[in-house]
Structure 1
Amino acid sequence: MDYETVVLHTRRELLEETATLLNREWPRSMAARVASLEGGVDELPCSLVLLNSGGAVVGHARLLPVAGATNAALIESVVVCQECRGCGLGRRLMEESETYCVRVGYNAMHLSTHDQQGFYHHLGYQDGPSVNGRRKCVTNLTENQVQYIVIKKCRLNFEPSRRPQGVCVRVLSLAIYDTVTVRWCCGSGLHATRN
């Protein structure tokens, strides 16, 4: 069977199908899942989806720049549909993700997992520190406006004195970057790095 990898924001008609695939593995509301998938860019952040010959979504990987690094990417939410596992599609999706990251200027890859350490070790990843993925960019805001931004993930008004633990907002050149620490399983998860 032939497979094709596409960048999700160029194929918006695949948003709901991709959200359904992700929700089978990591359940959350459909509206929240679709919202998290919207808004990719040609560089990073973006999502890659793997399509079978019939055009159905059978795999997904989210690619994010690592906060505080100029050439490092975080690969997360890697999933292949249950029926297609064991056929090499996970490896293919990771290779396509790495190739895409290199093509847009990233040469170090990071990921985080709590149950697929063997798979990622087999692909050449090594244990490493956890990293933050830079998720969203909102431009043209002043530091005072940061106090009124609503962080959707927490559903809380952001005020510096009430910052939710684990959420970091950085102001760089009047741009706001919402970053979330990647920790799937405190202390026992794999935080892997591949250069």
Structure 2
Amino acid sequence: MHGPPLVAWLLVALSTVAAVACLLRREARDEAVMAAGMAVMAVPMSVLDPRPWGTPLFAVVLGVVFALAGVRALLLVRRPGHHLHHSVCSAAMVYMAVAMGGATSAHGGHAEHMAATGAGTPLLTGLLLLYFAGYVLRSGTSLVALPAQAHGAPGGGPLISTGQAEGGAGGDRDRVPLRHAPEVAAACRVAMALGMFAMLLTL
């Protein structure tokens, strides 16, 4: 990532936490891979660029990995899940990898020059920024509404189990583990979309 080191390391931490949270949810392996890739891409170039060819090679590897991830997401788009969103995320990662590798190669491996002049196509970068900003706003609003629905808010209907409502022993058996809670899954997706938005701003 070509930006302030503090911002880069904060993105690394955010993406790593999201990757671990998704990894604990076995049904979210695709999201875990995406978050792990974001964590690696967010690492400052001063750490990953010991030689002039280091950044282009790094960009090629990431580009290939996420191109394959995007194709897989498109093939699964008709199945339940967030595969269409995953395909957009994969395309954004490929775009950033290509922009990073191409701009660094064109300027002799100087990442600082890329940070000063920018990289990528402004129109495409702007469209992706709009997409992820909209996704964060829409999903964030839904995330805020989930706890209210879980407690039987008007219009949401009670989601609490019978055993929990009665306070019996069945409540513990019916309780959904935290890592499988819908709030956790939604929070991970919002966190990754925020990270993607911040990384796109550095182009």
- State the TM-score, normalized to the length of structure 1: 0.34
Q: Which has the larger radius of gyration?
A: 2
**TM-score normalised to the size of structure 2?**
0.33
Specify which structure has the bigger relative contact order, considering alpha-carbon pairs within 8 angstroms and separated by 6 or more residues.
2
Report which of the two has the higher share of helix.
Answer: 2
